[in-house]
Amino acid sequence: MPELPEVEITARRLDRALTGAQIESALAPGINALKTFDPPLSVLAGQKITGVGRRGKQFVVRVDGPTDPLVLLIHLMSAGRLQLYDKRAGPRDRTSRLLVRFDDGRELRLREFGSKQAAWVKLLRAEELDEDPALATLGPEAWPDPPADLREILNAPRPLHTLLRDQRTIAGIGRSWVDEILWEARLSPYKRGADLDAAESSTLREAIVTTLAIPDKLPMPLRVHRHEGEPCPRCGTTLESVHFESYVIAYCPVCQTDGRTLKDRRLSRLLK
Ligand SMILES: [Zn+2]
């Protein structure tokens, strides 16, 4: 599941590679991932890419457009990938959801793997971008400059693990990086947002900024998420986990929960 660091790095790479590239054609083959119909994808033919960026976990591909500037808004969801190829996909590639072909032969491809078909694309007029529901509901960006006092956005009687993954509360964090952030801040995944004091809030902010910090090419390696059963990188205690239907929380019981181990059933009720 790509989260803010992975999307940011891909967006930077695509921005360098594609700015100025001229589109020959764009199509959304097979299962239609395209969620808009006006303007149609066909207007992209002959237009130039003016930049690639990110909002939350979504890509924003800017195109000059025949009259007004346009934007492709792309969400990979859990199993999508956005990649640039030197050659075009063959007609049998069933993973393709969007193909943007350039006049130099390259192809930007949104592909999706696995059984779910959830990744989506919208072609919008640039002026409509901020009003699109996918962006209008986003909370402040988690990186590089989250709100100075996180208590302003986390002041709710919900566990931090849930709040930090809620894109309406703060944009960009998902089930992988939330474990890293809470471990870095030495906070329990089920501490209530409303219970954060000033010091914890500032530690959490620092942990978000440093954990999501993005080197040039690859995000930092995950050290806690999916590392249950291994020693805590800080104190050596075995990392514990709590399993849910669609995700797993990993944490250090010494660094984060005062030595307590979380029971799956109890926590699943708490997190509702
Ligand atoms: Zn530890």
pLDDT at 230: 98
Interval between CA 262 and ligand 1 midpoint (Å): 15
pLDDT at 138: 96
pLDDT at 191: 97
Confirm if 99 and 27 have CB atoms less than 8 A apart: yes
Interval between CA 238 and ligand 1 midpoint (Å): 8
Residues 91-122: tens digit of each pLDDT: 778 899 999 999 999 999 999 998 888 999 99
Interval between CA 225 and ligand 1 midpoint (Å): 13
Interval between CA 260 and ligand 1 midpoint (Å): 12
| Bridge partner residues of 243 (DSSP) | 248
pLDDT at 270: 58
Residues 212-258: tens digit of each pLDDT: 987 766 777 899 999 999 999 999 999 999 998 888 999 999 999 99
C-alpha span between 239 and 62 (Å, rounded) = 43
Q: Is the pTM above the cut of 0.85?
A: yes
The Cβ of residue 63 has, within 10 Å, a number of other Cβ atoms equal to 22
C-alpha span between 224 and 231 (Å, rounded) = 9
pLDDT at 202: 98
Q: Taking residues 154-171, what's their average pLDDT?
A: 97
Interval between CA 227 and ligand 1 midpoint (Å): 12
Interval between CA 251 and ligand 1 midpoint (Å): 8
pLDDT at 121: 97
Instruction: Determine the 3-state secondary structure of 159 from DSSP.
Output: strand
Residue 9 has pLDDT above 70, yes or no: yes
Q: Which residues place a Cβ less than 5 A from the ion ligand 1?
A: 232, 234-235, 237, 252, 254-255
Residue 2 has pLDDT above 80, yes or no: yes
Interval between CA 196 and ligand 1 midpoint (Å): 20
Interval between CA 146 and ligand 1 midpoint (Å): 26
Interval between CA 43 and ligand 1 midpoint (Å): 54
pLDDT at 65: 86
Interval between CA 68 and ligand 1 midpoint (Å): 53
Residues 249-268: tens digit of each pLDDT: 999 999 999 999 987 654 55
Confirm if 229 and 247 have CB atoms less than 8 A apart: no
Conformational region of residue 113, where left means phi above 0, alpha means psi within -120 to 50, and beta covers everything else:
beta
Q: Which phi and psi angles does 236 have, rounded to 5°? A: 85, -10
Residue showing tokens 């969400």: 75
Residues 34-92: tens digit of each pLDDT: 999 999 999 999 999 999 999 999 999 999 988 999 999 999 998 999 999 998 877 77
Interval between CA 9 and ligand 1 midpoint (Å): 29
217 vs 134 pLDDT, higher one: 134
